[in-house]
Structure formats: C-alpha cells, structure tokens
C-alpha cells in the first residue's frame, strides 16, 4: 500500500531542518572565536594584539566578499573558485606547526594567505613567515595587523604562480576550492624546488609524482572539520649520463 506524505508535514520538516542548520552554524561561528582567544591567551599571548587588529580592521568589511571589490584586472584571468576565502582555526594550525619542528633556518610561506592569520601565528612562534596574497583588502589587513608586533612576518601582493618560491622550506596551501588546473600548476612549481621541501595542503594532497605524502592530520576550519596532508619534494631521479667517449689511438 502506498503512503503519501502530508505536504504540511513535509514543509514542517524542511523548516525544522533549516532551523537546526542555522543554529548549528551560529553555534559554530560563536564557539570557534572564543576557543581561539582562550587558547591563545593560555599558550601564545604574543598573537593576541595582532588578532585584535585583524578583528578591528575587518569590522564592517566582510572578508568573504572581498573578492567582489577587487580590481577587474586582478581577477579576470582567475577561475571564480580560486579566490574563495576560508580560514583555519588557529589551535589546529598551531598543533600542525609544532609537529613540523621548524627552526631558525626554515621559512614558512602561506600561498594565498588571506588576512595573514597563519603567517602571524608562525611568526609569533619565532619562525620566519611570509604570506603571498592577491586580494588587496586581505593584504592591507595582514600588514596592518602584523607590522607593529611581529617582525618575523612579511607579506606581498603577488600571483602565486609568478611569485618567487625559492626561499621557502615549508608551504601552506589552503586552497580547498582551488580549481584543478591551479592545483596542478602550484604542485608543479613546488615539485621543482629542493628535495625535502615540505607542503601542507588542505582537503586533498597536491597532485604531482614528485610530491610524497608523509602523513595526514585532521582539524577544524571555518567550514568544518577537514583533512590536512603533509607532503615533501622527492629527490629527482638521476639523469642518465651520456656514454663515455675516448679518443682514438693512432697507430
């Protein structure tokens, strides 16, 4: 026997699902900033002044719509998803950063750093850190927040496919929404760097045979829980040597 669902009941269910979804998002959006502040207050207070300047700069400026206010010439050659904005929750990043055991000779580079939060967190931990960002509003925010307090943090406005990457020892690539062609181009650039150069990518590893996946982390972002992949550049296979040639001996 076929049972038909009451249309009124179906509408009520959909309304209930929307309410639950909105409550979940509201709870998450209120909880993770509080968690960050408490975490930093306890474990990294050096980051707090810069975090406050990020919030004060962003008041009335929605970072998630900053790309709509970009000059047309900066985004005309970009896939719409390549500039989509999202942030990693700082305690998650700090846990990954500590596991890398970076030292004075390392240089951390965030590819598409947004407002620069990860660059500042690395600098607050005593690591030379650099952010590359194309969106002008994000870059202004990052420089405003970091300059008075974190001398190890630096930023530049550049296309990550053209910027100089040669000095980095560790890359961060948060491009969950990057288009496949962009991911492949970034992977190809990193694969040409020195062996054992490391890269952390979010949601999926960068696709290249010269990039070996070492391990996977899990943690929280502004869009929910996600996976983080640590990869390294493999040594390049030795090129075949040309056959040896010897001078002929005359009789």
pLDDT of residue 248: 46
Q: What is the pTM of this model?
A: 0.82
| Per-residue pLDDT at 196 | 95
Query: When comparing pLDDT for 61 and 68, which is higher?
Result: 61
Model pLDDT, residue 59: 87
pLDDT in tens, 82-107: 666 778 999 999 999 999 999 989 99
Residue 82's nearest CA partner among 151, 152, 161 is 161
Identify the pLDDT of residue 236.
Answer: 82
* 81 vs 88, residue with greater confidence: 88
Split at pLDDT 50, 70, 90, the class of 32 is: confident
Dist CA 115 CA 142 (whole Å): 5
Backbone angles phi, psi at 128, to 5 degrees: -65, 125
Interior/surface letters 110-123, b for 16+ CB within 10 angstroms, e for the rest: bbbbbbbbbbbbbb
- Kind and range of the H or E element at 173? strand 170-173
Please determine, for residue 77, whether its predicted confidence score (pLDDT) is greater than 70: no
- DSSP structure class, residue 239: P
Can you list the domains of the chain with their CATH numbers? Answer: 24-233 (3.40.50.150)
Q: Would the pLDDT of 238 be above 90?
A: no
Q: Which residue has the higher pLDDT, 171 or 71?
A: 171
């Amino acid at each position: 026997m076929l049972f038909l669902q009451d249309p009124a009941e179906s509408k009520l269910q959909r309304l209930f699902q929307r309410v639950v979804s909105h409550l979940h998002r509201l709870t998450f959006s209120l909880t993770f900033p509080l968690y960050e502040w408490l975490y930093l207050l306890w474990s990294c207070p050096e980051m707090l002044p810069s975090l406050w300047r990020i919030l004060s700069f962003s008041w009335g400026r929605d970072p998630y719509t900053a790309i709509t206010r970009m000059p047309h010439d900066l985004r005309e050659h970009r896939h719409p998803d390549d500039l989509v904005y999202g942030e990693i929750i700082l305690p998650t990043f700090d846990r990954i950063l500590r596991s890398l055991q970076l030292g004075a000779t390392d240089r951390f580079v965030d590819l598409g750093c947004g407002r620069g939060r990860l660059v500042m967190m690395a600098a607050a931990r005593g690591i030379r850190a650099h952010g590359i960002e194309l969106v002008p509003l994000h870059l202004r925010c990052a420089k405003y927040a970091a300059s008075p307090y974190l001398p190890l943090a630096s930023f530049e406005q550049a296309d990550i496919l053209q910027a100089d990457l040669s000095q980095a020892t560790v890359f961060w690539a948060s491009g969950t929404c990057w288009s496949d062609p962009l991911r492949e181009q970034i992977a190809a650039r990193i694969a040409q760097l020195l062996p054992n150069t490391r890269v952390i990518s979010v949601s999926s590893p960068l696709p290249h045979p010269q990039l070996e996946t070492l391990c996977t982390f899990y943690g929280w972002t502004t869009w929910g829980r996600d996976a983080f992949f640590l990869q390294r550049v493999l040594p390049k296979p030795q090129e075949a040597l040309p056959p040896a040639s010897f001078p002929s001996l005359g009789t």
